[in-house]
Amino acid sequence: MHWTLPFPSRRAPVLGRNIVATSQPLAAQAGAAVFARGGNAIDAALAAAITLTVVEPVMNGIGGDAFALVWDGGQLHGLNSSGRSPAAWHSARFAGMETMPLRGWDSVTVPGQVAAWAALSEKLGRLPFEDLFVDAIRHARDGFPVSPIIARQWQQAAKDLYMHPGFEAFMPHGRAPVAGEMWSFADQARTLEEIALSKGESFYRGRLAQAIADHAAQHGAALTTADLAAHQSEWMQPIATTFRGHQVHEIPPNGVGVAALIALGLLENLPYEDAPMGSAQRMHLEIEAMRLAFADLHTHVGDGAHMRCSACDLLDPSYLRERARSINPQRAGQHVAGTPKSGGTVYLCAADAEGRMVSFIQSNYRGFGSGVVVPGTGIALHNRGSGFVTTPGHVNQVAGAKRPLHSIIPGFLSKDGQPVMAFGVMGGNMQAQGHTQMVLRKVVEQWNPQACSDAPRWRIDDAAQLILEPSVAPEIVAGLQAMGHTPRTMPEDNLDFGSAQLVERLQTADGSAAYVAGSDHRRDGQAVAY
């Protein structure tokens, strides 16, 4: 591992035996406080996640979805707690629409996040469930000062969402809070108390479920108490690909993690390391591999139960070798999907002295999600339904009781059956390409976690345009242009490149568990060791 910090950053790597890294300092400290009370890494991750719904409400909320990868000391577990669409949704409901609604009740699927908290705590946690809510409830009731980055995001979201039912709860003075202003939300504190005491049951089969369904009915929406009661978190075997002797793990579809694995599988068949580190040639290969992966993702991937080919088909080594041949190492191309054999987000990670490691992500999707807030509860509902398509016959076509294609993904890296790193990069479609870039920085370039995060990033945005951070060197920009790319360099304060958190296990002489963590300087985040 290289311990230098070659890129501009305000952060240094954080080392310790117990560690948690999140995108907001108060949440990271809530996780560390759980370690102090005798909790394990799962408890710390959950306390941080629950606190994030309060202190970073633009990026996540109580009404979101969640996924996790957890190393329990001997085995890697995967949890998919994304919700399904209302049973009454059918294609005719959205007939004539070219795309799904981005906001409002017709973008709301069942929120699975609360169920994820309960499932993780019950299976792998140590502390009582209600103990994980202490800091979140305190911040919601007593208040906290809003940070500049979150205030900026809040104000931008408010411009788009102020007309949606219930959103005025996040604008009590007719506006979003400004940087440094104290924010408290008593409704949210009471809701978190109810979730804690009922172990999440109230949200799916009790008073909170009824409040959600009643609000839906008042606005002509399809979501019912039966839809909420039917939700189940699913434990599942992660999918993986081998890259340079390491195994990269992701949650199976409906998540987009398979796209990161496809891109890495393609790079395994390309002359990536023949190009100099930090060169336009390397970045070109990364971008081309990602474009090819996205082509397959958006054609073949959706709810796993509805796919016509499996993730294993898309990751088949012979298929990836054939796909890699369509990439010109010297020239940008136009990539279409192949034909395989049939068959607004917060990310955090934590690890403890007993060897457990957690990669966890939860989200309301696009900045406060749907804009719908259930009155009297502080529950902001996500807009994951907008991840469906209306194209007839598409594997991701909207339908009832179906999971949409999902952008949030936790990542995990192992080698020879042993854990190496829990990592993630939140931020819309940046996530799969962010995972790809983190693995390359770690495995090939051998940077420490903070340097992996600090490295300049590229992104293929939602319009398929290549955008670059301003820290990408001018000679690299020129090199990409010479190969046929049309990159656009974004302003210095642009937030489109996501936010990474990483925790890597150190190789200690006595084999004991110790870690080094990095937290993205692009956000307010913090890594805290205990």
Tens-digit pLDDT profile for residues 411-452: 999 999 999 999 999 988 999 999 999 999 999 999 999 999
Measured CA to CA, the distance from residue 354 to residue 9 in angstroms comes to: 31
Tens-digit pLDDT profile for residues 286-341: 999 999 999 999 999 999 999 999 999 999 999 999 999 999 999 998 887 877 76
pLDDT of residue 93: 94
pLDDT band at residue 204 using 50, 70 and 90 as cut-offs: very high
The DSSP symbol for 242 reads E
Residue identified by tokens 């506006």 is 175
Q: Which two tokens stand for residue 134?
A: 């202490």
pLDDT band at residue 494 using 50, 70 and 90 as cut-offs: confident
Q: Which two tokens stand for residue 179?
A: 């940087």
* Coil/strand/helix, residue 413: strand
Cα distances (angstroms) measured from residue 176 to each of 161, 382, 525: 11, 19, 21
Residue 169 identity (one-letter amino acid):
A
Specify the pairing of strand 345-351 against strand 19-22. antiparallel
Measured CA to CA, the distance from residue 190 to residue 195 in angstroms comes to: 9
pLDDT band at residue 488 using 50, 70 and 90 as cut-offs: very high
Q: Which two tokens stand for residue 193?
A: 């108390």
pLDDT of residue 342: 46
pTM for this structure? 0.95
Cβ–Cβ < 8 Å for 348, 342: no
Q: Which two tokens stand for residue 529?
A: 């060791």
pLDDT of residue 520: 95
Cβ–Cβ < 8 Å for 398, 100: yes
pLDDT of residue 341: 61
Cβ–Cβ < 8 Å for 296, 447: no
Distance separating the N- and C-terminal Cα atoms of the chain: 23
By mean pLDDT, which of 31-35, 135-139, 154-158 is the weakest? 154-158
pLDDT of residue 338: 76
Task: Answer whether residue 10 shows pLDDT above 80.
Answer: no
pLDDT of residue 334: 85
Specify the pairing of strand 144-145 against strand 182-183. antiparallel
pLDDT band at residue 162 using 50, 70 and 90 as cut-offs: confident
Measured CA to CA, the distance from residue 261 to residue 240 in angstroms comes to: 7
Cα distances (angstroms) measured from residue 351 to each of 185, 511, 517: 30, 15, 10
By mean pLDDT, which of 31-45, 48-62, 328-342, 357-371 is the weakest? 328-342
Tens-digit pLDDT profile for residues 214-238: 999 999 999 999 999 999 999 999 9
- Contacts for 295 with CB less than 8 Å, ≥ 6 apart: 335, 336, 337, 338
Q: Stretch 114-127: mean pLDDT, rounded? A: 98
Residue 277 identity (one-letter amino acid):
M
